[in-house]
Structure 1
Amino acid sequence: MVDVAVLAGVSTQTVSRVANGSRDVRAATRRHVIAAMNELGYRPNSAARALKRGTFRTIGVITFPLSSQGNMRTLEAIALHAARQDFAITLIPVTAPTQAGIQGAFSRLGELAVDAVIAIMEVHLLEAATVTLPPGVKIVVVDADAGDQYSVVDIDQADGTRKAVQHLLDLGHETVWHVAGPKESVTSERRAAAWSTTLSAAGRPVPPVIRGDWSADSGYAAGLRLADETGCTAVFAANDHMALGLLRAFREKGKAVPEDISVVGFDDVPDASSYPPPLTTVHQDFAAVGRQCVDNVLRQIHTNTIEPRVTLDPARLVIRQSTAAPLAASRATIQQRC
């Protein structure tokens, strides 16, 4: 810092103010100091700055699996929005959703210099692992079922499901079959419960749940079964990849979508509009969730408070060409008009 001050012809206090982003420096002086920093290869000492400020300006993000479409899009938004606020992120992936795996991730977190944590995982896993946070570290959990113990940001899964099922009922379908995700997934169970509740509230029969594992292959297997199911004219899949498998199975079994069977997915993956046919699905704004996570932890950091609150971003139904009125109902309407 002394070398920069000598080269720029200013005091060390001025160099410090420029390094810390203070606005109390004239523009011309700032340019001279920055030029001297660049010439000498000067970089501010982040550890020293952290001791002076009392913060590290770093957010730890714990998540699994990284292959998840939603997790990756949320993580990208967190990193970009944190950078805009002059914060960095430290990614701590959990290799397996086990008690040991989660405890190991939080143990590594305790060795790192972070001001806050964003946990992109279901809260029951945190509780099962009985994790502890370093003193003073704030936390936000991406899970609508986290209750009032944590500050929570998530997408309203139940509302998105209700919109999907009601859309199919409004088209004239007697009921809606459901291809759910794995039973151990809280997200899957949340969507399955909302599907069943919506049908019951409308006085419609609730068909047996068909289980998948989020993959297109499991959706394909479910589609082969549903194609032979008498009276099945509408299916709600718990994610878009399983919906893709349904479309393939129905096509192979000679069932036209949406003329014979309507299909709705969940997620609105980037390729959903290119499915054959373009998929009606529930859009989740993962970028909005990521930004809200960062805003939430920064508010806790700046006020030095832990304020449990639940922020649910609304899901939006995107109607495309994979849904229509059932063919039998359409024919009856035409006959009535004639």
Structure 2
Amino acid sequence: MADVARVAGVSHQTVSRVLNEHPSVRPETRERVLAAIDELGYRRNSAARALVTSRSATLGVVTTGSALFGPTSTLIAVEEAARDRGYFVSVATLRTYDTAAMHAAMEHFMAQGVDGIVVIAPHADVAAAVESFRAPVPVVVVAALDDASPDHGDGSPSATVSLAVDQRSGARQATELLLDLGHPDVVHVAGPQGWFDARERAAGWREALQARGLEPARPRLCSWSAADGYAAGRDLAEAVAAGEGPTAVLAGNDQLALGILRALWERGVRVPDDVSVVGFDDVEGAAYFVPPLTTVRQPFAELGSRAVAMVVASLAGEPVAAQRIMPELVVRSSTAPPR
């Protein structure tokens, strides 16, 4: 920084203000400092900065190591948002969801001196393990938690706060679309119920049916895979061929919907002429399924931005409350009124 100040003909403090985007620096002075930085190839020394500020400018991110669209998209969004705010990201991947694995990951971050932690916790066991750790830094849990307690249950404050896309609302919107089209009922092919998202989507589907005076049947429980969707779709296709099947299906995610579409096509069941199908996620390529898939889009970029903003606000001493982000229903050609 001293070299930059000398070349630019300014004080060390002015260089610091430029680097920290302080508004009191005149535009011509800022340009001169930036030119000197470019000429000298100056880069901040993060270790030295951490010693001065007692901040590492690093956020820890815990992920389950899943290749599924939702967790992966959330991880990418958090990393991009952190980088935009000048933070490095350290990632810890969990292969199991037990408390010991979570605590080991959190201790790893404590040893690194991270400023805060974002936990991508789609599974119920992950969220419980996070809360039991009692981290001394702000923690944002990205999960559709059933509730958000402001303390640990014993009166001691919690540094953990939740953030999620409103999965229940998304599933409710999708189910209401099908009901509004005139379908007398909607079958739900659900994801694994140990996942917050799957539980919340099933709850939204159930609420939409009950609001119309309909009694939901038990959902078909699956994994998140297209293979499970295909198996469920074969059963649905046989029922439709026998004149006993549904006219509308809400799939727990787009991969399940993809398997369902394939099974229906093989049996000669037309979508949406005979059966309407809705997915969830709006994965890359959903608009190119045959037919293009009606689905619920999750705003992952906003999710990542808010997660990082919540950590930063907490570090600044601001009160941070649980937040929910509304998804968007994207209507395409896989839905239509029943025949």
Corresponding position: 1:189 with 2:199: yes
1:298 aligns with 2:291: no
1:235: which partner in 2? Answer: 249
Rounded to whole Å, the distance in 2 between the matches of 1:247 and 1:178 is 14
SS at match of 2:337: coil
Report 1:164-203 matches (<5 A): 164-203=174-213
Instruction: Give me the CA root mean square deviation.
Output: 2.5
The one-letter amino acid paired with 2:335 is T
CA contact (8 A) 1:106 1:133 kept: no
How many Å separate the matches in 1 of 2:112 and 2:77? 22
User: Deviation digits for residues 155-212 of structure 1, max 9, x if unmatched?
Assistant: 1111111111111111121111111111322221221122223222312242232121
**TM-score, scaled relative to structure 1:** 0.85
The answer to whether the 8 A contact 1:175-1:205 is kept is no
**Which deviates the most, 190-199 or 172-181?**
190-199
Q: Does 1:108 align with 2:108?
A: yes
Matched residue, 2:157: none
Corresponding residue number in structure 2 for 1:152: 162
**CA 202–22 in structure 1, closer or farther in 2 if over 3 Å, else same:** closer
Native 8 Å contact 2:236 2:245 kept in 1: no
Residue 279 and residue 49 in structure 1: after superposition, are their counterparts in 2 closer, same or farther (change >3 A)?
A: same
Query: Which shifted more, 184-193 or 120-129?
Result: 120-129
Return the alpha-carbon distance in structure 2 between the equivalents of residues 129 and 19 of structure 1.
35
Q: Which residue of 2 aligns with 1:313?
A: 325
TM-score between both structures, scaled by the size of structure 2: 0.85
Residue 242 of structure 1 and its aligned partner are, at CA, apart by 0.3
Alpha-carbon distance in 2 for matches of 1:280, 1:257 = 11
For 2:181 and 2:34, the matched residues in 1 are separated by 64
Q: Which residue matches 1:59? A: 59
- The range that moved more, 70-79 or 102-111, is 70-79
1:127 aligns with 2:128: yes
Structure 1 partner of 2:273: 259
Partner of 1:143: 143
What secondary structure does 1:282 align onto? strand
- Is the contact made by 1:273 and 1:279 (CA closer than 8 Å) also made in structure 2? yes
For 1:120, give the aligned amino acid.
I
Q: State the one-letter code of the partner of 2:209.
A: L
Distance 2:36 2:181 in 1: 69
- Matched-pair contact (CA < 8 Å) for 2:253–2:280: yes
Question: Following TM superposition, by how much is the alpha carbon of 1:51 offset from its aligned partner in structure 2, in angstroms?
Answer: 2.9
Aligned pair count?
324
Gaps of 5+ in 2: 151-159
In 1, the alpha carbon distance for the partners of 2:162 and 2:281 equals: 20
2:196 counterpart letter in structure 1: V
Alpha-carbon distance in structure 2 between the residues aligned to 1:200 and 1:280: 22
Q: Distance in 2 between matches of 1:36 and 1:170?
A: 63
SS at match of 1:60: strand
